[in-house]
Structure 1
Amino acid sequence: MLRRRSPSSVDDTPVPVDDPKPQGKGRPTPKRRDAEGRRRQPVSAPKDRKEAYRQMRAKQAAERERARKGMLAGDERYYPARDKGPARKFARDWVDSRRLPSQYFLPFSLFILLVTWIPWPPAIQPVVIGYVITIGWPLMMFGVLFTSIFVAWKVKKQVAEKYPDESLRGVGFYAAMRALQIRRLRFPPPTVLPGGKPVPPKK
């Protein structure tokens, strides 16, 4: 007959604590981001609502400054939605590479105002104002209107040929409005000079 093994026969040899050859590390290898996170200093919570508001304002100001520098550098990630996309980029470059009559709309309007404000001699003033109102102003408005229609049509046509998969909605109006602005005040800033050459980097 087989004899049942006694429970006391179990090997009670203790496992040495200071085993010189441990089997494995006994814990998973920490991830790099977890290790870096532990090394970072904890963020101190604001003491009161005034301090929290000050921190929020400082963070927003830093984000606005970063976005402004990105837009000035030509980084499209920071552009508003209306300025993003290859179609809008093409429209900006097309307008910026040309000298159009409509871009002188604001300077000419200022010139007309100055002419009407100058205290001319009584014998000359009616003649000057008459020429300005009957000749100067209509010519300027006709030039602006003709240029805006031409720019919108031309840009929309070329965008359709160059980017057939892009939406044409608002592209013509976008180009016409940019053509009305003084070159130095255009935003996003021009990346090409009149003639098509790229704008040299600022030193």
Structure 2
Amino acid sequence: MFRRRTQSPTEDSPVDDSKPVTTPGKGRPTPKRSEAQGRRRSPVTAPSNRKEAYRLQRDRDKALRARQREGMLRGEERHLPARDRGPVRKFARDWVDSRRLPGQFFLPAVLVIMLLSMVPFPLQIRSVVLLVYTMSLPVVMVLVLVSSFYVAGRVKKEAAEKFPGEDLKGVGFYAAMRSSQIRRLRFPKPVVLPGGAPVPAKR
């Protein structure tokens, strides 16, 4: 009535226990959950009082301001103020920094002339120095004004050709003001040398 079922070939074949059973793995033991969580968590020391909390907050703010200032000096877009952001303003900065313009020599020239006028030269030499000072100052100012108008017009024209559809409001004045600054005091710092070559990285 009840017949015995025929055993499958797999049940009849003996199992070889001499070979070790291997399973694919990562090549290293799996860390425990507590160990993995411990490595992810960095030790946090809570301030013991309000004074200590204020000190830690000041240190964090100081470090953040230092990073932001370094980023601004390097010209990183996310750290720059609104007036310096955008491809048009960067183009204006690079255009000015890649050229030697009369405006950048205005303040050094005025300072040299003023110092010479205060040196106690003999009367004849002093009168010549004062004459040079009186005549050269307006000439230098005229050169700076002419240079500023030239820079503003050229930068605005080339920016319009290079960035069609971009907002060019104030870019001419922005370039003119930068051209009247001493190169070392410009902000953000120049990233190109006169001639257009990039500024070499500091080692």
SS in 1 for 2:200: coil
Give the drift of 1:187.
1.5
Shift of 1:52: 2.0
Alignment CA distance shift 1:197-1:56 (3 Å) = same
**How many angstroms apart in 2 are the aligned matches of 1:37 and 1:137?**
70
Which residue of structure 2 lines up, in the alignment, with residue 194 of structure 1? Answer: 194
Give the AA of the match of 1:166: E
TM-score (norm 1): 0.75
Q: Counterpart in 1 of 2:84? A: 83
| Residue 101 of structure 1: how far off its partner (Å) | 0.6
* Contact 2:114/2:133, CA 8 A, preserved across alignment: no
Runs of 5+ unmatched residues, structure 2: 1-35
In the TM superposition, residue 155 of structure 1 has moved relative to its aligned partner by 0.7
Question: Against the structure 1 CA distance between its residues 39 and 138, is the aligned structure 2 distance closer, same or farther, given a 3 Å change threshold?
Answer: closer
Following superposition, the deviation at residue 152 of structure 1 comes to 1.0
Query: Cα distance, 1:42 vs. partner?
Result: 6.6
Offset of residue 77 of structure 1: 1.4
Q: What's the CA shift for 1:39? A: 4.9
Partners of 2:75 and 2:180 lie apart in 1 by: 21
Please report how far the alpha carbon of residue 58 of structure 1 lies from its aligned counterpart in structure 2 after TM superposition: 0.3
TM-score, reference length from structure 2: 0.75
Aligned-residue sequence identity (percent) comes to: 60
Which consecutive residues of structure 1, in runs of 5 or more, have no partner in the other structure?
A: 1-34
State the partner residue of 2:119: 118
CA contact (8 A) 2:88 2:159 kept: yes
Separation in structure 2 between the aligned mates of residue 165 and residue 154 of structure 1, nearest angstrom: 18
User: By how many angstroms is 1:108 displaced?
Assistant: 0.4
Q: Which residue of 1 aligns with 2:142?
A: 142
RMSD: 2.0
Q: How do 1:143-162 residues align onto structure 2 when only pairs under 5 Å count? A: 143-162=143-162
Count of aligned pairs: 168
Kindly tell me: are residues 39 and 89 of structure 1, through their superposed partners in 2, closer, same or farther at Cα, counting changes over 3 Å? closer
Is structure 2 residue 53 aligned with structure 1 residue 65? Answer: no
| Partner Cα separation in structure 1 for residue 58 and residue 90 of structure 2 | 33
Return the letter of the residue paired with 2:136: G
Letter in 2 for 1:90: F
**Shift, 1:176, TM fit:** 0.8
CA distance in 2, matches of 1:41, 1:175: 47
Q: Which amino acid aligns with 2:69?
A: R
Deviation per CA, 1:137-186, whole angstroms, max 9, x where unpaired? 01110011111111111111111121122211211111111111111221
